[in-house]
Amino acid sequence: MDNSQLNQKPHEHKTLLIMLIGIMVIFVLLGIYLVSQKTKKDKDKSMAVSSINNPTQPTITPTPTLIPYAKKGIMKLYTENNVLRFPVGEEVSIGVLASSEKSDIVGFDIVFSYDQSLLEFTSANSQLASFKAYAYPRTDYVSITMIKSLQETNSTVFDNTDIAQLRFKALKKGTTSIELTAKGNDSTKFADVNAKVTYPEMNKLMIEIY
């Protein structure tokens, strides 16, 4: 055996060793990949089961709670001669009566809801010379604030008193209610000369447009 053959064997052994190490590294990397994929699948499955067993609850915006003022007095809607049917295109006039049970009133709010597809709110007028009306149309209701003039020194006690006139335009045929109510932070209420606020009893009217 010559010297060239002796020198070749160690070289062949080194090459074979490198190949074996390379194959082992490939198997190790493949094993790590397979384990990571299984772990990911198990995690996804666990999350899916958790989602089914514990579904995400939707965020609920709490409805504003009215301040617990005392209930006192009456505020109610009415129509002239109790007419509750109006033709399309005509004006719908609604009156507001109030009783304050001997309280001297300096301001009040009238909040009412209605079907805006059937009625169009046009105006609100004070029936009291010493009170001025301010209308605030909202998305699905209207808030009317009425404030007594500072120059008026006489007391104002409501006793089935005509306090306001609400006007609408009839848009199309249908039946709807006009209802005194509370919406969000707006509510139908009285404020007396001592800054005491009270909620009156309220009503609603059913209106037919033909």
Q: Is the pLDDT of residue 115 over 50?
A: yes
Do 110 and 138 reside in the same domain of the chain? yes
Which of the four pLDDT bands, split at 50, 70 and 90, describes residue 64?
Answer: very low
- The verdict on 9 and 28 lying in the same domain is yes
Cα–Cα distance measured from residue 169 to residue 114, given in angstroms and rounded to the nearest whole number: 12
Q: CB-based contacts of 112: which residues, under 8 Å, 6+ apart?
A: 77, 141, 142, 144, 166, 178, 179, 180, 181, 188
Domain extent, residue 24, equals 1-61
Instruction: Say yes or no to pLDDT of 123 above 60.
Output: yes
Domain boundary among 26, 61, 96: 61
Residue 6: the pLDDT is 46
**Measured between alpha carbons, how far is 154 from 130 in angstroms, rounded to an integer?**
10
In terms of domains, do 99 and 75 share one? yes
Would residue 66 count as lying in a domain?
A: no
Q: Which residue has the higher pLDDT, 97 or 23?
A: 97
Residue 55 located in a structural domain: yes
Average pLDDT over the chain reads 83
- Tell me the pLDDT band of 184, cut-offs 50, 70 and 90: confident
Specify the pairing of strand 204-209 against strand 174-180: antiparallel
What is the pLDDT confidence band of residue 198, given thresholds at 50, 70 and 90?
very high
Q: Are residues 50 and 101 in the same domain?
A: no
16 vs 62: which has the higher pLDDT: 16
Q: Do 55 and 78 have their domain in common?
A: no
**Residues 55 and 86 grouped into a single domain:** no
Do 81 and 47 belong together in one domain? no
- Same domain, residue pair 154 and 187: yes
Residues 20 and 80 in one domain: no
Domain count, the chain: 2
Query: Concatenated DSSP letters for 109-129?
Result: EEEEE--TTTEEEEEEEESST
Residue 159 lies inside a defined structural domain of this protein: yes
45 and 80 together in one domain? no
For range 56-63, the mean pLDDT: 42
CATH code for the domain of 152: 2.60.40.680
Does the pTM surpass 0.75? The reply is no
Each residue of 139-170: pLDDT tens digit?
899 999 999 999 999 999 999 999 999 999 99
